[in-house]
Structure 1
């Protein structure tokens, strides 16, 4: 098939001969391969109908060696390619991943990194197959494709995929996919997780499964389009080279493997590996989760009434994200989101593929951490994301820019359902109450006064949040994120090198962010930055949760703290800096008014839309904590003493919530408990609980009266109205539970 010079069988380094369709296995088209695969799964319940994993059972060493080589090639490609990127998001945080897919688009293996993408690339490949790419523009050796269309196979717009087909002797044997998170994607405002978008037409640069190159070279017109379509063309160009280089490394490694083991053995291996992934999830469910039906709900606040730019978004909204999970005794697992809110004029709309990615990254951490990571787990779960809802709009005209605004709250409910199933089976360490939802610390950009060059503001230290507690230990402090569990904060110096006009003034543990409980959630942190030597600086703050909690603790534990925002304009810092003073105390933001003269803007919404900042303005943000587990009054004294001495909590909060009284030596960071006063305070809390508690029956009666009277906040009324308008089974069950008339509605009139 290839011309000289030939490097390995079926692969050339410079130029490729054209391959005529069909390009699938054994003379099949890709559509025929996809149809056959889907039919066999439907008929047998097994991937490609594999009843027995013959290679795994008969040649276990060879089988495991093949998987290890492919997995190693993917990880090696990631670890090597990230050094091509100039973006700290990719290089420092590792916001990239590589996947290997079958010709019909099923993931065989994935690298480390943003593992949420194991199935998103699959959807893009299947879209190309079903749209006839094989016979239209064709799929050829050396071709390069790009996709970031969320409705076809992606998570959110800033994630960009590069896909290359891998041929062997005129047959397509695999696809390699690399994905990175971009610093900027164009769009109506600066930044990578836009807040102001209400439609697709504000989201920025879209590539809809587009062929962007051939003969291993990216088309010049695509390079020009990308350069002119984003605000940070250098980062875009190097990220694209990073993805292409990694995919080509995977192609070379795979071809070497097939040269060694033979193409037929490789083909059989891929189908067994995916079926093993499916079987592994079933076995983990069967052995670790207690059978039954589990329900929970999360909520995503959209407080745009005072912030929204577009008139259609100027209202406070609340998205309903209910989750019902069925755990079968035979290892079956289903997820149903019937009752989810309709889509809306905000960037939190989320495609079905994105929701599948969130499910996959959650199950990988909860159940599949000791199994093969591929699309097998996708085939083992029956998921329903209702069409026409915010988690599956089926409308490409909507904005999907920040789909994480639906993904992360939803999987709080999923994690709690799984944790209850763990607990019921007798597992305690595996329980996890959830996580802090990583809102963007800050996004935007500005221009350097000296060079007149544009620089982005996109710090990804948001990847270090508080993790939820388990039923046997505290959550991790400022060291976790749901979507990429291997990240860290990165170096401040790296962020300042790229974000030239926003140096750091301070960074601290954020007290009282961790959810309370017998075992507390992980703590968050806070930072203060100053605008410096810049002009035309525009920044916005994006956070989840904001005005409400999207999750709760478990078994008496508290949710984590909600967020807020603080910024200071028109400060006197220029004069203070001239006097060689360092005015900012180590306690922010509470003392800002004492340290700095200026216009302090505080909001409990936690968010603000793009706002102009001038030199010496101050920007404050903080990361959240995780939810807690168990009754706070059961927390051991030695752990509370440690919490106070490490500034996880302040004495007033510990006394109010945990009933522990004592004296804290601020200078020495030593806390001495007053045991008599503590016993008295705890009895006061118990008595207060007895006085304020009520029976379940009286609570239900009171809440029913509120529903009948429509005594609800506008966001809650809008939420119920949207769900009822969808007219699904959830609405009928809601009316039945609350003993309401069949025609009962809640609307905004």
Structure 2
């Protein structure tokens, strides 16, 4: 693609491409170091971290494809760090740490470390590493103070020497002190890997050329984003979504989004969204902004380099004192996992009205993140573990959705059962795909999962957030909702009790959990949902439905009642009966719409 910026470049194309790819490689090397050196399973196995580099003005230059919800938020962290510690006061190997949701952070477990990088005494850029620590001492609460240790921008390393007093304070405020120093050193290693890569580039090309490459890669992404926005018809597109509750009320918490596309820019407006909540789903500005950017990135030239050049064409209006732009001391623990995913889902549903032939149906729209404790019955030792049981993605214009895949907010993985049983006094009794959990459609959603974790000793669900317990994931273009999510307790005699979501008798229980106790031998059961469907399920290829039934993705009953596909006892397709059933269902739907 030839753009205006291509014509205005000062760097030759080869040097530009080498630098562009080097910025990306620098972040990849940071992540390799962090994952290999970290002590926490949530980092080395579940990949809940992100690494990025920034130019001297703290504009995002490069990133790894780890947790998209972290990335745009990280420049708020870096800028807050430099406001507290001006660059004139910082030297080589100085590192600033923070996790304060109202001073550059998002939720307290995400801890961000920022290090300036110098070359020949001049600032070349910044290396930034964010990792989700297993525990910072908090839990389910109505006040930010109850969510654990809150670090304002603080100097963690000076000239490469650790602030031992600060590290001691951090270790005294966590249930998992055994991980802290190892994870800190792993993040430090990631920052130093970026420092070394910066130095190699500066030695080869000179610092001025490296800085010019940063400017040009930002402009390049901006131009590619402009061209992508021009492909979306001008207009105003609106949608709503909601979190099922904040855990302290039975009322849904709604967001309203309005996308105004005009020429080569998009205005994103959240006026009309609900006020701040009592419970911990409030999303600080940095988190909301990041959710907007990553949700739009899917449809604004995803091949463009991922950097701050994209942000220039997206303008945000996020009213203060709403749950999408709260103020202290509103709790924020679920902001990155539940709130950001609802923002993304609403934006995707709004885009479905603008580009229906390109949009993807919403995912399960949640990380379903939980933190639990388990006591060893032999030693009495308390262990803390965490997991992210994924759901399905929505159907696309050309393919079915992916099964049991982390929501777009992150590229994280679930906690492997083998690792969990090795480290903690728990037992995984089930981890299996959930039949009929996907939203039906011409291209159905992917399915969710059924998980059962048994506590060998006493257990506690310290915290769990999820949503989609009222009606599942919405479909687009005639696609249908997925199944509902649900949280349950399985007693020692095998009885199931709903503790979050819709009970069998129709009673709904708040889905934000905290302080839920489990006796030895009892299990926590979670049923995640699939993605929404794309297109009318009556237009799905009948043979594909039959194949889904054979693979236990769809039940024989749903095949007939939703897809209109009739199968014999041997699960082969009865085409004549299918045609008749589809006509019957179509007529029934049309009559219902007339009655409405």
Q: Normalising TM by the smaller chain, what interval?
A: over 0.9
Decide whether aligned partners of structure 1 residues 95 and 559 sit closer, same or farther in structure 2, where only a CA change above 3 A counts. Answer: same
Are 1:294 and 2:194 counterparts? no
Are 1:516 and 2:459 counterparts? no
Query: What is the count of residue pairs matched by the alignment?
Result: 585
Q: Residue by residue, what CA displacement relative to the aligned partner does 1:262-299 show, whole Å, maximum 9, x if unpaired?
A: 1222222222222222222111212x322222111111
- Which residue number corresponds to residue 256 of structure 2? 322
- Which residue number corresponds to residue 19 of structure 1? none
- Which residue number corresponds to residue 184 of structure 2? 240
Are 1:493 and 2:398 counterparts? no
Deviation at 1:132, TM superposition (A): 6.1
4+ residue runs of structure 1 moved beyond 6 angstroms? none
Deviation at 1:55, TM superposition (A): 7.6
Where in structure 2 are the equivalents of 1:248-259 lying within 5 Å? 248-259=192-203
| Residues 33 and 193 in structure 2, CA contact (< 8 A), matched pair in contact too | no
- Which residue number corresponds to residue 377 of structure 2? 449
- Which residue number corresponds to residue 168 of structure 1? 119
| Residues 518 and 632 in structure 1, CA contact (< 8 A), matched pair in contact too | yes
Deviation at 1:477, TM superposition (A): 1.5
Deviation at 1:170, TM superposition (A): 2.5
Where in structure 2 are the equivalents of 1:55-134 lying within 5 Å? 56=9, 58-131=11-84, 133-134=86-87
- Which residue number corresponds to residue 399 of structure 1? 331
| Alpha-carbon distance in structure 2 between the residues aligned to 1:496 and 1:622 | 20
Decide whether aligned partners of structure 1 residues 609 and 360 sit closer, same or farther in structure 2, where only a CA change above 3 A counts. Answer: same
Q: Residue by residue, what CA displacement relative to the aligned partner does 1:175-215 show, whole Å, maximum 9, x if unpaired?
A: 1001111211211x3xxxxxx22111111011112112212
Decide whether aligned partners of structure 1 residues 80 and 59 sit closer, same or farther in structure 2, where only a CA change above 3 A counts. Answer: same
Q: Which runs of 5+ in 2 are unaligned?
A: 503-508
- Which residue number corresponds to residue 356 of structure 1? 289
Decide whether aligned partners of structure 1 residues 513 and 324 sit closer, same or farther in structure 2, where only a CA change above 3 A counts. Answer: same
Q: Which runs of 5+ in 1 are unaligned?
A: 1-49, 190-195, 305-312, 573-595, 666-670, 700-749
| Alpha-carbon distance in structure 1 between the residues aligned to 2:397 and 2:317 | 30
Where in structure 2 are the equivalents of 1:683-694 lying within 5 Å? 683-694=583-594
| Alpha-carbon distance in structure 2 between the residues aligned to 1:599 and 1:374 | 47
| Residues 503 and 530 in structure 1, CA contact (< 8 A), matched pair in contact too | yes
| Alpha-carbon distance in structure 2 between the residues aligned to 1:141 and 1:562 | 52
- Which residue number corresponds to residue 212 of structure 1? 156
Deviation at 1:631, TM superposition (A): 1.1
| Alpha-carbon distance in structure 2 between the residues aligned to 1:677 and 1:398 | 57
RMSD: 2.3
Decide whether aligned partners of structure 1 residues 497 and 55 sit closer, same or farther in structure 2, where only a CA change above 3 A counts. Answer: farther
Moved more, 558-567 or 56-65: 56-65
Secondary structure in 1 aligned to 2:170?
helix
| Residues 107 and 374 in structure 1, CA contact (< 8 A), matched pair in contact too | yes
Decide whether aligned partners of structure 1 residues 124 and 58 sit closer, same or farther in structure 2, where only a CA change above 3 A counts. Answer: closer
| Residues 438 and 623 in structure 1, CA contact (< 8 A), matched pair in contact too | no
Structure with bigger gyration radius: 1
Deviation at 1:490, TM superposition (A): 5.3
Moved more, 514-523 or 146-155: 146-155
- Which residue number corresponds to residue 409 of structure 2? 483
Q: Residue by residue, what CA displacement relative to the aligned partner does 1:291-338 show, whole Å, maximum 9, x if unpaired?
A: 22211111112163xxxxxxxx3x222222111112223x21121111
Where in structure 2 are the equivalents of 1:708-727 lying within 5 Å? none
Decide whether aligned partners of structure 1 residues 156 and 368 sit closer, same or farther in structure 2, where only a CA change above 3 A counts. Answer: farther
Deviation at 1:359, TM superposition (A): 1.7
Q: Residue by residue, what CA displacement relative to the aligned partner does 1:225-262 show, whole Å, maximum 9, x if unpaired?
A: 11111111122322211111000110011012112211
Decide whether aligned partners of structure 1 residues 213 and 129 sit closer, same or farther in structure 2, where only a CA change above 3 A counts. Answer: closer
| Residues 562 and 624 in structure 1, CA contact (< 8 A), matched pair in contact too | yes
- Which residue number corresponds to residue 505 of structure 2? none
- Which residue number corresponds to residue 360 of structure 2? 432
- Which residue number corresponds to residue 641 of structure 1? 546
Secondary structure in 2 aligned to 1:672?
coil
Q: Residue by residue, what CA displacement relative to the aligned partner does 1:458-514 show, whole Å, maximum 9, x if unpaired?
A: 023x2x4211111222111113421124x444532122223x122111221101110
Decide whether aligned partners of structure 1 residues 623 and 450 sit closer, same or farther in structure 2, where only a CA change above 3 A counts. Answer: same
Decide whether aligned partners of structure 1 residues 649 and 607 sit closer, same or farther in structure 2, where only a CA change above 3 A counts. Answer: farther
Q: Residue by residue, what CA displacement relative to the aligned partner does 1:20-55 show, whole Å, maximum 9, x if unpaired?
A: xxxxxxxxxxxxxxxxxxxxxxxxxxxxxx985678
